[in-house]
């Protein structure tokens, strides 16, 4: 494309005697500025009038040397375009570009005589003024109110003011001419495996232009410089003679970042585009290999163009070379023109280059750390294990349960995440208050006004962390604040944490703080015992294993911290990121690396790790297109991964000892929550199904469909095991026997069990998010003696 033509379109209501706005004056202006092409782009009259008025003020500023370079916004076919004007002695350099993420340059530095441009803008204003005045006079009789009249007269006044401002400006004189473009070499520093370099043509800015202002703004035209691009791989060198180097570099960094993400997930990748007068393509092929393609698009009689491909390029070498070239280009531009340090487009480019370098370092950094003395941590965890105890009520799972209502309460705007059952107290958090209800009588023990906060129950009280960073500990007996600690606010991410309350360890609360920190708070006085900083900001997933705290924060490393000191005990690295919870069972730790279920469909990997030393026992790739959900589920001989796909919720089973695949099935057709009970995976789906799957071979043991599937579904579907009975939330709360799915009873509540709690006597407390709470007690049961 060599140029665009703007044609002003006549309005729908216009007197027949009114001359067309698309007259000789406008055509002469657009021919001079935009180099009219055979294909015309229609511009509405209002946009044409605005463009000419903006041109008048801009040309006046260039004529008076108030500005040396300016850009005018133009709307063509709904796409953002900008018209760039730059003073060059008696002439004006005109450029037209589409200012999007992938700019298209239609005109670049077309030299136009300044006096001729000024004259044609004045003629265009005169041509626009006559139809505006006639339309205003002809339309007065049919318009009511002052608004339309002022609008018509206002447009004519704007045109008159712009013409007066331009006419008052002095003609283009022999001002300071622009320096001729000089060749600036862009050479990457250091030893790079692939050399990407360029020779660009840049002008030295005038001293007055270099010290204009410190305001940051996006200036695409300052970065539209042509140059010669060179790519050298080994003994092979290729050259692209006429390229908009910065536009090419922008897209090269973008597609290299996408290719790096695909490589990290083990996915194939290919993208090819034409930008800045050159072809650029990157393909991921095989493990750790890529191909880079550059070339010139087809022009004129050249039907094929010139395209070259460098195959079997190492991904790390490609990323390193692109980063080196991007840094060298940004450095060369700023050294030549200091004002470009305030250019938002260049700042965004440098940020992308920095992100690409950091992402590559995270993926290739192998700083795994093995704990050489794991026996202390293993012995501490072994001492905490209790021998298996018989069920509290062995006949519960074999008898019918009957529930009777005990009390009912209403609390508006209940926060389910801030509702806890602790001893005889039922603590209920709401939007504006915190309440405590006696679970036996339903009477209100106390209430305190509070603000919205993240809540967690601790052995010494309820801890609440506000958005501003204040952490309060409330006493459960009175509701009073025992102590307050100020932490760094965690903006843009939810707060996560874990409570440490084990014999032999101090009582602490470990919570996320700020963008990338963990803080351990002493529950007795609110003192911060230690802080840990992750490499990047992310959502922390914490799991405690004895004296260790296993941290997954979205990095490509799984870290185990000492609970007492916060020191890193071991670190396990993988190319993929750890973004989900891990599962710890005795001497086994299972973790899934990958970007998560709903973030990307790339491959994921299951790791079996020694929780005390951090040594890997085995790792295995999950099936292609598997999207894991949550933490791994552990059965006596099998580790099960819950997945989500188009067909519903699936289960993938692996042998715990060897990692050998055992089964891959679709368990139910909708989203479900899972629980493992005695070697059986039990799924409670939002479709009203309760499914039991044998964890050894994936066989279905039973499938129970609850009635009333058309009713409301609770916010949480997690089943709960108490005294050998399974409590299943659906439109009602059902009690079933986990061995065979036999229905033992149901809770006669008119509430949707968005949240429920079961105490040691199997009494049930049902909470509905609408603001209602009901308590139910079990009736007498027969016992064989």
pLDDT digits (tens, 9 = 90+) for 435-461: 999 999 999 999 999 998 899 999 999
Number of other CB atoms surrounding residue 128 within 10 Å: 26
What pTM, to 2 d.p., does this model score? 0.72
pLDDT for 46 equals: 56
Per-residue burial over 558-569, b if 16 or more Cβ lie within 10 Å, else e, is bbbbebeebebb
From the list 5, 125, 107, the residue with the least C-alpha distance to 56 is 125
Detail the DSSP E strand segments found in 467-615: 470-474, 481-486, 497-500, 508-513, 517-522, 528-533, 541-545, 548-552, 557-562, 568-573, 583-585, 588-593, 605-609
Please, are residues 643 and 625 in contact by the beta-carbon 8 Å criterion? Answer: no
Per-residue burial over 467-488, b if 16 or more Cβ lie within 10 Å, else e, is eebebbbbebeebeebbebebe
pLDDT at residue 711 tops 70: no
Token duo for residue 755: 């949240």
pLDDT at residue 158 tops 60: yes
pLDDT for 5 equals: 46
pLDDT at residue 582 tops 90: yes
From the list 195, 203, 200, the residue with the least C-alpha distance to 185 is 200
Task: Decide yes or no: CATH 1.10.3720.10 for domain 369-375+451-573.
Answer: no
Q: Which has more pLDDT, 780 or 406? A: 406
Please, are residues 198 and 227 in contact by the beta-carbon 8 Å criterion? Answer: yes
pLDDT for 264 equals: 78
pLDDT at residue 544 tops 50: yes
The Cα 327–Cα 354 span in angstroms is 9
pLDDT for 496 equals: 87
The tens digit of pLDDT for each residue in 70-81 reads 888 877 666 778
pLDDT at residue 209 tops 60: no
Helices (H) and strands (E) in the chain, counts: 9, 50
Domain ranges of the chain: 5-168, 182-364, 369-375+451-573, 579-705
- Residue owning tokens 């007055």: 208
- Residue owning tokens 């926060």: 415
Per the prediction, the chain carries an average pLDDT of 83
pLDDT for 781 equals: 60
The Cα 778–Cα 735 span in angstroms is 12
The tens digit of pLDDT for each residue in 657-696 reads 999 999 999 988 888 999 999 889 999 998 888 999 999 9
Instruction: Measure Cα distances from 109 to 200, 222, 235, 277, 491 in Å.
Output: 15, 11, 37, 16, 45
Across the beta sheet with 269-275, the strand order is 269-275, 278-284, 289-296, 306-314
481-495, 505-519, 726-740: which has the minimum mean pLDDT? 481-495
Instruction: Measure Cα distances from 77 to 18, 36, 41, 81, 98 in Å.
Output: 26, 17, 8, 10, 11
pLDDT at residue 236 tops 80: yes
Token duo for residue 621: 């790739």
Token duo for residue 464: 């609440």
The domains spanning 369-375+451-573 and 579-705 adopt the same CATH topology: yes
Q: 394 — phi, psi (to 5°)? A: -70, -20
Element (DSSP H or E) covering residue 155 = helix 146-168
Task: Decide yes or no: CATH 3.30.70.260 for domain 579-705.
Answer: no
pLDDT at residue 139 tops 80: no
pLDDT at residue 292 tops 50: yes
Q: Which residues are CB-contacts of 681 (< 8 A; sequence separation ≥ 6)?
A: 633, 635, 640, 651, 667, 674, 675, 692, 693, 694, 695
The Cα 169–Cα 494 span in angstroms is 59
- Written in H, E and C, the secondary structure of 89-122 is CCEEEEEEEECCCCCEEEEEEEEEEHHHHHHHHH
Q: How confident is the model at residue 567 (pLDDT cuts 50, 70, 90)?
A: very high
Beta-bridge partners for 453? 466
């Amino acid at each position: 494309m060599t140029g665009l033509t703007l044609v002003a379109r006549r309005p729908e209501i216009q007197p027949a005697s009114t001359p067309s706005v698309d007259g000789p004056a406008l055509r002469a202006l657009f021919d001079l500025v935009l180099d009219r092409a055979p294909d015309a782009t229609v511009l509405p009259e209002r946009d044409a009038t605005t463009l000419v008025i903006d041109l008048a003020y801009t040309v006046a500023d260039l004529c008076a040397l108030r500005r040396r370079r300016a850009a005018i916004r133009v709307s063509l076919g709904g796409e953002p375009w900008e018209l760039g004007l730059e003073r060059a002695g008696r002439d004006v350099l005109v450029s037209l570009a589409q200012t999007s993420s992938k700019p298209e340059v239609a005109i670049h530095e077309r030299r136009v005589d300044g006096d001729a441009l000024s004259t044609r803008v004045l003629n265009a204003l005169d041509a626009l003024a006559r139809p505006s005045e006639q339309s205003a006079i002809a339309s007065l009789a049919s318009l009511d109110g002052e608004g339309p009249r002022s609008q018509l007269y206002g447009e004519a006044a704007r045109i008159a003011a712009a013409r007066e401002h331009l006419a008052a400006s002095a003609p283009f004189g022999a001002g300071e001419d622009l320096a001729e473009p000089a060749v600036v070499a862009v050479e990457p520093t250091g030893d790079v495996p692939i050399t990407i370099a360029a020779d660009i043509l840049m002008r030295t800015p005038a001293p007055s232009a270099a010290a204009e202002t410190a305001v940051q703004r996006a200036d695409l035209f300052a970065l539209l410089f042509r140059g010669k691009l060179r790519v050298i791989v080994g003994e092979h060198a290729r050259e692209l003679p006429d390229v908009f180097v910065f536009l090419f570099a922008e897209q090269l960094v973008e597609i290299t970042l996408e290719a790096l993400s695909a490589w990290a997930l083990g996915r194939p990748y290919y993208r090819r585009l034409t930008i800045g007068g050159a072809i650029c393509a990157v393909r991921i092929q095989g493990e750790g290999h890529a191909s880079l393609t550059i070339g010139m698009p087809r022009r004129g009689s050249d039907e094929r163009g010139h395209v070259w491909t460098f195959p079997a390029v190492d991904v790390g070498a490609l990323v390193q070379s692109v980063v080196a070239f991007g840094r060298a280009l940004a450095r060369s531009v700023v050294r030549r023109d200091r004002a470009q340090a305030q250019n938002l487009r260049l700042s965004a480019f440098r940020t992308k280059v920095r992100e690409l370098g950091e992402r590559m370092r995270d993926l290739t950094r192998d700083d795994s750390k093995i704990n050489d003395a794991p026996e202390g941590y293993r012995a501490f965890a072994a001492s905490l294990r209790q021998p298996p105890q018989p069920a509290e009520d062995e006949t519960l799972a074999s008898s019918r349960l009957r529930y009777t209502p005990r009390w009912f309460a209403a609390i508006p705007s209940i926060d389910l995440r801030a509702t806890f059952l602790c001893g005889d107290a039922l603590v209920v958090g709401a939007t504006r208050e915190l309440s405590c209800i006696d679970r036996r009588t339903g009477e209100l023990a106390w209430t305190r006004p509070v603000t919205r906060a993240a809540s967690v129950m601790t052995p010494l009280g309820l801890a609440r962390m506000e958005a501003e960073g204040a952490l309060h500990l409330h006493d459960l007996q009175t509701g009073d604040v025992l102590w307050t600690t100020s932490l760094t606010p965690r903006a843009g991410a939810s707060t996560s944490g874990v409570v440490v309350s084990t014999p032999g360890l101090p009582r602490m609360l470990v919570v996320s703080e700020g963008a990338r920190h963990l803080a351990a708070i002493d529950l007795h006085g609110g003192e911060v015992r230690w802080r840990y900083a992750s490499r990047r900001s992310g959502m922390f997933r914490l799991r405690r294993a004895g004296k260790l705290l296993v941290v997954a924060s979205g990095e490509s490393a799984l870290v185990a911290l000492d609970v007492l000191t916060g020191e890193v005990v071991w670190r396990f690295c993988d190319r993929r990121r750890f973004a989900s919870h891990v599962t710890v069972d005795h001497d086994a730790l299972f973790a899934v690396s990958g970007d998560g279920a709903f973030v990307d469909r790339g491959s994921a990997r299951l790791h079996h790790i020694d929780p005390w030393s951090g040594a890997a026992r085995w790792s295995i790739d999950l099936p292609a297109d598997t999207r894991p959900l949550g933490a791994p589920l552990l059965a006596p001989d099998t580790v099960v991964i819950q997945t989500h796909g188009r067909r519903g919720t699936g289960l993938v089973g692996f042998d715990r000892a060897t990692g050998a695949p055992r089964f891959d099935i679709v368990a139910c057709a909708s989203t479900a929550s899972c629980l493992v009970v005695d070697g059986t995976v039990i799924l409670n789906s939002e479709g009203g199904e309760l499914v039991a799957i044998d964890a050894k071979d994936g066989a279905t043991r039973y499938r129970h469909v609850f009635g009333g599937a058309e009713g409301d579904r609770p916010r949480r579907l997690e089943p709960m095991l108490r005294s050998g009975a399974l409590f299943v939330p659906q439109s009602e709360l059902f009690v079933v026997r986990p061995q065979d799915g036999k229905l033992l009873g149901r809770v006669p509540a008119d509430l949707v069990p968005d949240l429920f709690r079961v105490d040691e006597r199997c009494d049930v407390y049902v909470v509905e998010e609408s603001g209602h709470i009901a308590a139910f007690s079990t009736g007498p049961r027969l016992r064989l003696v």
